[in-house]
Amino acid sequence: MGGQMVKRLLDKGHSVTGYNRTRAKAEWLIDAGMRWADSPRAAAQVSDVVFSMVSHTKALHEVANGPDGILAGLGPGKIYVDMSTVSPAASRELAARVRDAGAVMLDAPVSGSVITLQQGKLSVMVGGPRDAFERVLPLLQDVGPKVTYVGENGLAVSMKIASNLSLAVQMLAFSEGVLLAEKSGIARDVAVEVLTHSVIASPMVQYRGPFVLRMPDEAWFNVDMMQKDLNLALEMGQRLSVPLPTTAVTNEFLTTARGMGLADKDFAIVFAVLARMAGVTP
């Protein structure tokens, strides 16, 4: 996802200096015009606006901290935009450290997939100082057309977690519907065709629903990543006294998928888990 965002910025005519822990994964971007930096610090030092997108809170600490981290390359006037889905508390703590460095941080996770990004339909939610948001808004709109300011630091990642829990819950409910139809005698592909063109067909169901017919060779968003988000949601629910019953049940199906050795599969694999429980060949 991060690489595709860099490509969109390059295509819009922006100058981008980037870093990835595995340089080989960034070669296609270098070929497309991205300048290579040898560390997060080096990238931050030569940039007015710094973006990061990593997989979890631990990875964010690794890329931001230390002598070669992003924080070491920040200074007055710079804006740091983290687009990762991480712990809201960790995001706010990092924002405070960015302020201590004289810079400003925004949390700006996205809603969508690589496909929606490539189609120019990605949405972005942003938390942090309003004036910094206004400064980077044109850049964010070059990434995705729908950009929404949600409030202070940490609130955008909170909103993203609140949004992401529904993805897995919807996928499990969709799987239930497909299997109920299939075991009643309706062909699976027919059930998928009907459901993905019905009133329950959210954009996520429309593009991920067909995965129950054929899983992608490479996960768009794997079981481990989705369970990370559901665990963040459950932690928030406990802290805020918000019951999340469907999230908790869906989380158990992801745990089952991991126990079956399917952690690297797209989270749509919950269909296969439920199918086996129903005595149906996935």
* pLDDT score at 149: 98
Domain ranges of the chain: 2-152, 158-277
Find out whether 12 and 34 touch, Cβ atoms under 8 Å.
no
82: confidence class by pLDDT, cuts 50, 70, 90: very high
pLDDT, tens digit (0-9, with 9 covering 90-100), for 10-63: 999 999 999 998 899 999 999 999 999 999 999 999 999 999 999 889 999 999
pLDDT at site 62? 93
Q: Residue range 138-155: average pLDDT?
A: 94
Give the type of residue at 114.
V
User: What is the average pLDDT value for the chain, to the nearest integer?
Assistant: 94
Q: DSSP assignment of the chain, as one string?
A: -HHHHHHHHHHTT---EE--SSGGGGHHHHHTTPEE-SSHHHHHHT-SEEEE--SSHHHHHHHHSSTTSGGGG--TT-EEEE-----HHHHHHHHHHHHHTT-EEEE--EES-HHHHHTT--EEEEES-HHHHHHHHHHHHHH-SEEEEEESTTHHHHHHHHHHHHHHHHHHHHHHHHHHHHHTT--HHHHHHHHTTSTT--HHHHHHGGGGTS--SS-SSBHHHHHHHHHHHHHHHHHHT---HHHHHHHHHHHHHHHTT-TTSBGGGHHHHHHHHTT---
**What pTM value is reported for the model?**
0.88
Question: Is pLDDT of 107 > 90?
Answer: yes
Mean pLDDT of 206-230: 94
8-22, 95-109, 117-131, 244-258: range with lowest mean pLDDT: 117-131
Superfamily of domain 158-277: N-(1-d-carboxylethyl)-l-norvaline Dehydrogenase; domain 2 (1.10.1040.10)
The predicted model gives 123-149 an average pLDDT of: 94
| CATH number at 2-152 | 3.40.50.720
